[in-house]
Structure 1
Amino acid sequence: MDINGKEFYNAIKKEMTKSVVGNDEVIKLLTVAVLSNGNVLLEGFPGIGKTIIAKNFAGLFGLDFKRIQLTPDTMPSDILGFYFYNQKKSDFELRPGPIFTNILLADEINRTPPKTQSALLEAMQEGSITIDGKYMELPNPFMVIATKNPLEHEGVYALPEAQMDRFMFKIDILAIDKQDELEMLNRKQEGTFKNTISIISERDLRLANICVKKVKVSPEIMLYIHNIANASRNDNRLLYGVSPRASEQLMMASKALAFVEGRNYVIPDDIKYLFKYVLIHRIKVKLEYEMEGLTGGKIMEDIINIEVPK
């Protein structure tokens, strides 16, 4: 049974308005990510609503949700779990960490050291983890939504390139506009903000995932994706371009976007809309160009203007 993608997304958008004002684009991208099994990095200054958006988005699906506040002393075992000796059973027993969930909110991921950040790598790519040499499958679906504060420079750690490459999207959450902020203040005063409730069953989410897989990507669109990725790898202003994983995730995200737009095929505009969210965090501008004020976003805008399939 097929699900109407537009109706699916509109239901999500409508329910999210109970807890969030504005940020429609963020809600759409999170929907695309959950439909294409992608992880998301939300970046924005404190108080912008990153945690509220992530928590209430997770509440839409009736899935298991856990949140972990990452700090400099967070250990990998705090995320994954660990084995302890149960004296009553005279055997070792697993005490599972918060990663055993469907949607994990990793708050302020850049506050924890790279060793702890790396505990998420296998989970984000494979949907599994290894504890003391024992392989374990995670619940399906599994998604990480991480938040990052770009303003702080003390007591924080850069995310390694390998970690960044596991995020399908990096989304910058900006301040809402005047009208939305006034609406937020009024609703706060009136007490009309509410947490979202589960409106999409796990079954419907799985059916939607199946519908996304049926969305067609033409050979011309695939070549377009390759040409974009390849142009980034050969741009002399960049230390490195994007990985083949980025190409794959751009294609999968474009299928999900086409689905929520009510189409069963991908068009070039899907790629143009998504490329900055999929690719910008995977490239590195050379220092000499960075000092001249050139940004990765400007370079990617140049690259996206390569020949577009008709």
Structure 2
Amino acid sequence: MTTLRPQQDSVAPAERAGQFRQVHDLVVREIDQVIRGKSDVVRLALACLFAGGHLVVEDVPGTGKTSLAKALATTIAGSWQRVQFTPDLLPSDITGVSIWDQDTKEFRFRPGPVFANVVLADEINRASPKTQSALLEVMEERQVTVDGVGHPVPSPFLVVATQNPIDLEGTYQLPEAQLDRFLMRLAIGHPDLEVEAEILDGRAIAGPPIPRQVTTLEQVASLQRIAATVHTAPEITRYIASLAKATREHELLRLGVSTRGSLALMRAAQAFAAGDGRHYVVPDDVKTVAGPVLTHRLMLTARAEVRGTTSAEVLAEVIGSVPVPVVSGRG
């Protein structure tokens, strides 16, 4: 297991970025054994973790959504909980509840499954809006408040929520205002033919792969601090702001990217750049994370929906229309 030296002012940014990439690549390598042929998805999921955000994985059953969340928790030595969302799930089933202790003659808080480093909210759109809101509040506040007492959740804290885009009967779709709380939305997708054949061969011989712990929670917290210090030149911040402005003015969008969305895009680009071993953001970092960070924050007009236009297509048009900056300094 690689040990990351504590971040100090005397350590050069380039050296910190090199340390970041060393641990980052170890985690990617381990998860790649579980989610085969999806290194790009794994890298984006890690960028979400290191940026301190939360993740929505929207895909059909059997593509590895649960395996991704569990492998991520295992490699960082984090605790993990899976919550199956159903229509009768109550907020207290997630957050916890105060119970009467006969011995002490007082109420005692019993933590719910949300008190873990990685929480898989499976099929979040099957729970009632009230239960969804309870989870989203914990995601935002990083604590559960019961009877006026705050109970902080562990750190680092990542919620991986899944949605099935096919079977929508009896579901409560997350509204855009709540989706905006998630840093990224990803789809894993099916592996290609060769990779799927290799998966079948490997499982037949040795069974499912088990990832190893390659880092610690303390190191993950240090990586998050490093990602937050990755240099973002004024040209890059203006580029991000220009992309957001272009979405607000696009004729096929009735709701563009908010300032919170712009900040999310910058944080994700910083974490992705650090994963490449750089201490500065380049325009390609912004372009790479723009889709996962922004598409779920866009609302199409009725005309666009009738035409079958997707938010991804509109975003691609926006990215193509905004001039890419030439960055003069790298910090």
Instruction: Give the TM-score band, short-chain normalised.
Output: over 0.9
In the other structure, the counterpart of 2:323 is 307
Report the residue type matching 1:155 in the other structure: G
Task: Tell me, yes or no, if the aligned pair for 1:18 and 1:193 is still in contact at 8 Å.
Answer: no
How well do the aligned residues superpose, as a CA RMSD in angstroms? Answer: 1.3
> Per the alignment, do residues 192 and 17 of structure 1 end up closer, same or farther by CA in structure 2, a change over 3 Å counting?
farther
Shift of 1:194: 2.1
2:173 pairs with one of 158, 171, 175: 158
In structure 2, what is the Cα distance between the partners aligned to 1:132 and 1:244?
A: 33
Report the residue type matching 1:63 in the other structure: G
In structure 1, what is the Cα distance between the partners aligned to 2:66 and 2:182?
A: 17
In structure 2, what is the Cα distance between the partners aligned to 1:231 and 1:133?
A: 43
Alignment of 1:175 with 2:228, yes or no, is no
In the other structure, the counterpart of 2:244 is 229
1:225-304 to structure 2, matched below 5 A, reads: 225-304=240-319
Task: Tell me, yes or no, if the aligned pair for 2:227 and 2:270 is still in contact at 8 Å.
Answer: yes
Shift of 1:192: 4.2
Moved more, 295-304 or 126-135: 126-135
In structure 1, what is the Cα distance between the partners aligned to 2:67 and 2:116?
A: 18
Shift of 1:116: 0.4
In structure 1, what is the Cα distance between the partners aligned to 2:21 and 2:99?
A: 48
Report the residue type matching 2:230 in the other structure: V
Identity %: 37
1:18-97 to structure 2, matched below 5 A, reads: 18-97=33-112
In structure 2, what is the Cα distance between the partners aligned to 1:131 and 1:121?
A: 15
Structure 2 segments unaligned to the other structure (5+ residues): 6-15, 327-331
Task: Tell me, yes or no, if the aligned pair for 1:114 and 1:160 is still in contact at 8 Å.
Answer: no
Structure 1 length-normalised TM: 0.96
Shift of 1:240: 0.7
Task: Tell me, yes or no, if the aligned pair for 2:32 and 2:38 is still in contact at 8 Å.
Answer: no
In structure 1, what is the Cα distance between the partners aligned to 2:170 and 2:117?
A: 29
Task: Tell me, yes or no, if the aligned pair for 1:101 and 1:138 is still in contact at 8 Å.
Answer: yes
Secondary structure at the counterpart of residue 170 of structure 2: coil
Secondary structure at the counterpart of residue 160 of structure 2: strand
Moved more, 180-189 or 200-209: 200-209
Report the residue type matching 1:119 in the other structure: A
In the other structure, the counterpart of 2:160 is 145
Report the residue type matching 1:194 in the other structure: P
Secondary structure at the counterpart of residue 167 of structure 2: coil
Report the residue type matching 1:48 in the other structure: T
In structure 2, what is the Cα distance between the partners aligned to 1:90 and 1:153?
A: 46
Report the residue type matching 2:99 in the other structure: F
Structure 1 segments unaligned to the other structure (5+ residues): none
